[in-house]
Structure 1
Amino acid sequence: MSLKPAVSKTDHIQGKKDASIVIVEYGDYQCPYCGAAYPVLKEMMKKYGKQIKFVFRNFPLSEMHQYARPAAIVAEATALQGKFWEMHDAIYENQRILSEPFLLELVEKLELDPHQFNVDIKKSELAAKVDSDFESGILSGVNGTPSFFVNGRKFNAGAEDLLQLMSEIVK
């Protein structure tokens, strides 16, 4: 399966913007497998972040994970204040205690403008962005999380395998 749509400026991007290797993760903030993949992906970015572009797209499995969608919307709201990756990391690093009150604690810890956050969190475009990410995952053949794409092609293995692949192809 191939990635639809291609990575664009609406995506959350880390690493080298014009890299020849582009990795897209479809993730769910409450998924234990995504939580297990998180430190592996952090290691990958530490080692290869100057040579690869990493993209995160929301794929909340709301029927199984009640806080996945609220977490995704909070992360999108923090993105409007330039702190998406800080929130993304904080959620995964504290995944076991994820709750709506805890998400608001993270907003305070990241020193976001609370008034602006309260305005932003109500914006319908945040839910629309989460839904758009989810729909793009469905179109791309995502059927679970985490799901990875390397240069637009579905990577049918886990984060450890992805790290191994990067060690072989990134020089």
Structure 2
Amino acid sequence: MGIFFNCFSLLLQYLRAWAAIGLLCLVVTWSFPAQASSTIDSQLEQQVLQIIREHPKVIIESVQAYQQQQQQKVKQAQQAFLQDLKTNPQTVIGESPTTGSTQSKTLLIEFSDFQCPYCAEAHKTLKQLLAKYPDKLRLVYKNLPLTLIHSEALPAATAAWAAHQQGKFWEYHDALFSNQKQLGEALYLDIAKNLNLDLGKFKRDLTLATPAIKKDIQLAEKLAVSGTPFFVINSPTISGVVQLEDIKNILADAK
């Protein structure tokens, strides 16, 4: 405890010193031309680097403490989410698309990406499970477009949301996964036409989808969801994160 306190006190001293130096630099920046400011910035950088070199342990301990705090926040968010899933599932569902039995005691939350090949495979399995256990499962779809690796994930999610506004999400959802290699603006419009959507409304709704999709993404980030597909289940026998193969066993064992 004494060592930690000393390290923490030392870190506070350095933080105060950095703050003082930063304030001084800000004042000087207002008073001197850009060239002088650049020189001061360089000096400040060297001072900070020197502190890190001389006291690396303090920096490491500070980072570790921060990581532990973040992990605790994630754990608390996950526990709160599971509690809501048990006691007030509609709060979790919100306005997200659902399919299956509304009376089912098993609720499955899926975070998915329309361009993810693993999600496409999971989609096939989920359709089979919904057909085999029509009274035992309710599926809720949440968007998690992995935009850094899937350029069409967000546009596809946007189009599916627009279809949802006309009650055709799941038909649109199925068509996107069935034509995953052709994702693009032409396909989105063709699917809308094939489903007899009001094209004027569909195009207008494309511009309104961002808040709903962003809400799903923020929920995934809060729960530390790192990839897709990702499943959270609440059933009479289990509540928490599950793998796709586990879902089959849970439904098979359900009475």
Q: What is the TM-score normalised by the length of structure 2?
A: 0.61
| Offset, 1:45 | 0.5
Q: Which residue of 2 aligns with 1:102?
A: 187
> Which consecutive unaligned segments of at least 5 residues does structure 2 have?
1-77, 85-90
Which one of 235, 241, 250 corresponds to residue 154 of structure 1?
241
Instruction: List, as ranges, runs of 4+ consecutive aligned residues in structure 1 with deviation greater than 6 Å.
Output: none
Distance 1:93 1:160, change over 3 A: farther
Q: Which of the two has greater strand per residue?
A: 1
Q: Which residue of 1 aligns with 2:133?
A: 48
| Offset, 1:76 | 0.5
Of structures 1 and 2, the larger Rg is shown by: 2
Q: Which of the two has greater helix per residue?
A: 2
Q: Which residue of 2 aligns with 1:93?
A: 178
Q: Is the aligned partner of 1:66 residue 2:66?
A: no
> Which consecutive unaligned segments of at least 5 residues does structure 1 have?
none
Q: Which amino acid aligns with 1:71?
A: A
Q: Which residue of 2 aligns with 1:139?
A: 222
Return the alpha-carbon distance in structure 2 between the equivalents of residues 36 and 8 of structure 1: 23
Q: Which residue of 2 aligns with 1:120?
A: 205
SS in 2 for 1:57: strand
Equivalenced residues, count: 166
Counterpart contact for 2:233–2:240, Cα < 8 Å: yes
Q: What is the TM-score normalised by the length of structure 1?
A: 0.90
SS in 2 for 1:135: helix
Counterpart contact for 2:104–2:137, Cα < 8 Å: yes
Counterpart contact for 1:14–1:49, Cα < 8 Å: no
Counterpart contact for 2:112–2:228, Cα < 8 Å: yes
| Offset, 1:103 | 1.3
| Offset, 1:112 | 0.3
Name which structure has the greater RCO, CA cutoff 8 Å, separation 6+: 1
Return the alpha-carbon distance in structure 1 between the equivalents of residues 249 and 167 of structure 2: 31
SS in 2 for 1:7: helix
Q: Which residue of 1 aligns with 2:123?
A: 38
CA RMSD of aligned residues (A): 1.6
Q: Percent identity?
A: 33
Q: Which residue of 2 aligns with 1:166?
A: 251
